Amino acid sequence: MSQPMFSLIFKVIMAELSDYFWLLLIWLASTILFRVIFTKSCIKARRLPPSPRALPVIGHLYLLTKLPHQAFHKISSRYGPLVYLLFGSKPCVLVSSPEMARQCLKTHETCFLNRPKRTNVDYITYGSADFVLAPYGPYWRFMKKLCMSELLGGRILHQHLPIRAEEVKLFLNSMMKKADLREKVNVGEEVAMLANNIITRMALRRRCCDVEGEGHELIELVKEMAELGGKFNLGDMLWFVKKLDLQGFGKRLESVRSRYDTIMERIMKEHEDARRNKKKEEEESVRDLLDILLDIYANENSEIRLTRENIKAFIMNIFGAGTDTSAYTIEWALAELINHPDIMAKARGEIDTVVGKNRLVEESDIPNLPYVQSIIKETMRIHPTGPLIVRQSTEDCNIDGYCIPAMTTVFVNVWAIGRDPNYWKNPLEFQPERFLDKEGLSPLDLKGQNFELLSFGAGRRSCPGASLALQIIHTTLAGMIQCFEWKVGEKGHETVDMEEGPGMALPRAHPLLCIPVARLRSFSLA
């Protein structure tokens, strides 16, 4: 296109825009005026929680940083444990104390049983087919019951114990080889691979460490989907740009879901073919999670008929929730232990006393290792892998004398609650002993009974995979403590920085790089 032609087109476009400039200005002014009047009337009529000063159109978005939980903590430190915010056109409330969390997640739980929909996540997870984001109702209740009885309950976890034990041994054996070579290890990557192998074997009878295999391809796709799902989408906050796709997410979301759909469809058909050809004597063997889901899919008398999209979304949920969270907790815990050698020595002494030096620590040993358990609790208090619990109100609700309007997004800041000096003495210090009493491990648990420690949420929408995650985390960390010294830096005595990075599951800002030094060789890891 010639330059004169381009200039002419540009002038025509600018002339067209100028015709609408005053209309746009009038619309913007009226919007601001309406919001000011509406907000003031709402405050008088319904007494909303305290709120910082909002800007036109964007509301309080200017207060956010790349680490939202830290930004929320600063806001709550100034305005209190219940704060009202507007993110664009979306009303939100910050909850930053155990008392307020208890009111939202227990006392008035029925008002906060839904999760808000986000465009990117909703598309990736097949919309209404997804269990984690599904509205509270018959489908969600059916899937939760299924999780606790058939998919992630005690019986199934016990049946898959050999898988977890074998994968932990393979992981420690790999670390032993690296120790022999004095090779530096990226701890986060290694424990993530371990968690992924356990999940893919339990769910699909595949390992993800084979770069050429479907398991590896699936894990890489889930990582890409999680990254896209965690991106901030302007359309979720500013209604007038919702359909414009200004950030170009549309094609990327379509591509990644299409690739995931293709590989999952292939794996599901392989399972269905194998089920048809299975001999009678093989029917009683341990089934993976996909087999169980396909049984329900094929059962015409099932309470809820699952679709193929339901199954694909659930498998995605398992990968997304069960791998990074476990890996990050182990990585944070080891970083804290390296920075606190006295705590490391005490944990190692407990393991040597209870387990000895002639065999590897096992899952069955964990109940007899209260100090190791307290290390995990303290890690999840100060480095929660779910720093924010996000819910949405389904109706107007009164919390501590304030009105929380229907369709308000509620952020329970688990990260801030875990650092609340009103509940935790010296909250920024890593002190596992705070979870011990004269009789051993204190009754404070991680599964939502204590609102000052909400590592897996609370109430009906708490994480159904908590038991599996804790089994992986405890046994893996105990094995790493038992078998190795972990050296950082050229001299092996450097401290580890504890800076947090951006992400939904609270990753470290910088990878934990260590050289493992073999401590025990009196038993075989092969």
Q: Identify the residue whose tokens are 């591509």.
A: 255
Which are the contacts of 460, defined by CB distance < 8 A and separation ≥ 6? 109, 113, 136, 144
Of residues 65 and 493, the one with the higher pLDDT is 65
User: Is 463 labelled a binding residue?
Assistant: yes
Q: Which residue has the tokens 């910082």?
A: 52
Asked if 312 contacts 261 with a C-beta cutoff of 8 angstroms, the reply is: yes
Average pLDDT, the chain: 85
Question: For residue 10, which amino acid is it?
Answer: F
pLDDT tens per residue across span 152-169: 888 899 999 999 999 999
At residue 247, the pLDDT reads 66
Q: Treating both helix axes as pointing N-terminal to C-terminal, what angle do 187-204 and 161-180 enclose, rounded to 10 degrees?
A: 150
Q: How many residues in the chain?
A: 526
Of 429, 468, 458, 482, the C-alpha closest to 323 is: 468
pLDDT tens-place string over residues 183-235: 999 999 999 999 999 999 999 888 876 555 677 788 788 778 777 776 666 66
Edge to edge, the sheet with strand 513-518 lists 185-186, 513-518, 484-487
485 to 167, 175, 221: CA distances (angstroms): 21, 11, 34
- Does residue 245 have a pLDDT over 50? yes
Element (H, E) at 75: helix 68-79
Rounded Cα gap, residues 270 and 8, in angstroms: 60
Q: Does 78 have pLDDT greater than 90?
A: yes
DSSP labels, 281-338: GGTTSPPPHHHHHHHHHH-TT-SS---HHHHHHHHHHHHHHHSHHHHHHHHHHHHHHH
In the block, which residue shows the tokens 């050229």?
Answer: 490
Mean pLDDT, residues 275-295 taken together: 77
Identify the residue with better confidence: 238 or 476: 476
- Calculate the alpha carbon distances from 305 to 166, 312, 353, 493 in Å: 35, 14, 51, 57
Q: Are 105 and 115 in contact (CB under 8 A)?
A: no
DSSP letter assigned to residue 484: E
Phi, psi values for residue 397, rounded to 5°: -145, 145
For residue 85, the 8-state DSSP code is E
Question: Looking at residue 114, what DSSP letter applies?
Answer: B
The three-class DSSP label of residue 93 is strand
